[in-house]
Amino acid sequence: MLKKLLGLTLPNCKDPEGREVDLSQIRPELVPQHVAIIMDGNGRWARAQGKPRTFGHAAGARTLRRIVKFADKLGIKALSVYAFSTENWKRPITEVHFIMDLLVEYLTKELEEFNQYNVRIRFMGAREGLPDAVLEKMDHALEVTRDNTGIILNIAINYGGQRELVGAMKEIATLVKEGQLQPEDINEKTIEEHLYTRGMPAPDLLIRTGGDLRVSNFMLWQIAYSEFWTTPVFWPDFSEELLAEAVLSYEKRDRRFGGLNQK
């Protein structure tokens, strides 16, 4: 059934390396609606090939294009990806400049194709400190795709989960100070309404590539009950096959949200 929905005529689809992607076991009704990805391993992938780290970042950008399209075909409604963290400013200045230039290039070259593909682009993170050229491309992407109804590509740029929560607390404290909100009325929904992801559901599935087992300050509030799936594969080599594998693993999980399965 899923292969019909995806419009696939082959027994399985294939990733760029020719490996078959088995979709026959995936149940469309159980596909995670929101998937978050920590795209790790660009630099290590490049070093393994004797290339500079920047070579890996460029390759990772190409991988993202493929994965967004395949995620949409699987029925995933939102994809949140960790592109540049608040801690990434500590990297060598040449690498930071390359990443900023890559963001400008990516939001220029890929925008038309994403728009044609009905992708809606969103961003989360602090605008302060980002180059004007990056901010201009971000604003343009938001404007061009705001009415699109396909998958949401939520890109985390200059993002930190702790900073996000601090910002939310400050906004809520201001409302209390101004008398617009009573402390006893603050609840989980109040906080969610002041996060970058307001209006979006929490991620059902968090994927981390590159083999590390940590969340790296990513969506700390939102992933409270997300299912985790990790792979040692570096992000530039992440394939449609691996995304399908992650989704299949998710579908087999027993999500209880702190309760018990009554079956």
At residue 170, the 3 state secondary structure works out as: helix
Contact predicate 37/209, CB 8 Å: yes
Phi, psi of 141 (to 5 degrees): -65, -40
| Closest listed residue to residue 6, CA positions, set 79, 75, 76, 78 | 75
What's the mean pLDDT when you consider all of the chain? 92
Rounded Cα gap, residues 57 and 96, in angstroms? 11
Identify the helix (H) or strand (E) that includes residue 210.
Answer: none
149: exposed, middle or buried (Cβ count in 10 Å: 0-12, 13-18, 19+): exposed
- Is the pLDDT reported for residue 19 higher than 90? no
pLDDT tens for each residue of 150-197: 999 999 999 999 999 999 999 999 999 999 999 999 999 999 999 999
For residues 189 and 7, the model is more confident at 189
pLDDT tens for each residue of 191-206: 999 999 999 999 999 9
- Is the pLDDT reported for residue 1 higher than 50? no
Confidence of residue 4 (pLDDT cuts 50, 70, 90): very low
Confidence of residue 11 (pLDDT cuts 50, 70, 90): very low
Rounded Cα gap, residues 256 and 261, in angstroms? 6
| Catalytic annotation, pick one of 12, 88, 148, 217 | 88
Confidence of residue 24 (pLDDT cuts 50, 70, 90): confident
The confidence score (pLDDT) of residue 25 equals 87
At residue 36, the 3 state secondary structure works out as: strand
Phi, psi of 15 (to 5 degrees): -85, 175
Contact predicate 203/36, CB 8 Å: yes
Q: Count CA within 13 A, CB hemisphere, residue 49.
A: 15
Please give the average per-residue pLDDT across 222-247, as a whole number.
97
Q: Which of 44-48, 128-132, 243-247, 251-255 has the lowest mean pLDDT?
A: 251-255
254 is catalytic: no
| Catalytic annotation, pick one of 15, 40, 204, 237 | 40
40 is catalytic: yes
Confidence of residue 23 (pLDDT cuts 50, 70, 90): confident
Which pair of structure tokens corresponds to residue 2? 């899923």
At residue 64, the 3 state secondary structure works out as: helix
Contact predicate 76/32, CB 8 Å: yes
Which pair of structure tokens corresponds to residue 190? 């109040």
Residues 6 or more apart in contact with residue 103 via CB below 8 angstroms: 83, 84, 134, 137, 157
Please give the average per-residue pLDDT across 106-130, as a whole number.
96
Confidence of residue 262 (pLDDT cuts 50, 70, 90): low
The confidence score (pLDDT) of residue 261 equals 63
Contact predicate 130/97, CB 8 Å: no
pTM, rounded to two decimals: 0.90
